[in-house]
Amino acid sequence: MGWIVLMFSTPLAGLAESADDLNVPNGPVILTVSGNIDHSNVGNEAQFDRAMLASLPQHEFETRTPWTEGNSHYSGPLMRDLLALLSPESDAVHVSALNGYEAEIPVTDFNDHDVILAMEKNGEAIPIREYGPLWVLYPFDQDETLLSEKIRFRAVWQVMHINVL
């Protein structure tokens, strides 16, 4: 059950240079964040295309999941970094998926664990049929308590909307 954690930063292309507002997405919107946020780019929402999410500092880990076979390498922004960008003062988020699934996740999960909004699996964009394009993913191999039913229900795949409560 080995795991590797690598962190690296990329320039924040596609994000506003000031912390007041985000730039408007140039490509198709793959994530909308609403609710208790301080920064927006379309009305009261923060909409992100793939390039905007990819421009956030990326975090990587290798893990097995209860839904996939073997170890895979996943990468994407840390959920706590995404929330920090939007400056929420929140205790929880409500995550909605393309398939209609919804889950409420306490923000403490993001502070206690390196939970990512996975965008890539083994260096490739995650297709919808394989839990993409975005997946709230816990580093299951780093802590066996993350394999609980409670946490599995919070690992939302096919993420399309996050409501900050």
**Is residue 91 situated within a structural domain?**
yes
- The verdict on residue 55 lying in a domain is yes
pLDDT of residue 87: 80
**pLDDT for the residue 20:** 53
Domain that holds residue 142: 33-164
Residue 3 covered by a domain: no
Query: 87 in a domain, yes or no?
Result: yes
CATH code of 115's domain: 3.90.420.10
Tell me the pTM. 0.88
DSSP summary character for residue 13: T
Q: Between 6 and 149, where is the model more confident?
A: 149
Asked if the structure places residue 108 within a domain, the reply is yes
Give the pLDDT confidence score for residue 75 in this predicted structure. Answer: 98
3-state helix, strand, coil in the chain (%, to 5): 20, 35, 45
Per-residue pLDDT at 102 exceeds 80: yes
Structural domains in the chain (count): 1
Assess if residue 53 is contained within a domain. Answer: yes
Pick from 88, 130, 131: which is nearest to 106 by CA? 88
Segment 61-86 shows an average pLDDT of 96
Q: Is residue 1 part of a domain?
A: no
Q: 15 in a domain, yes or no?
A: no
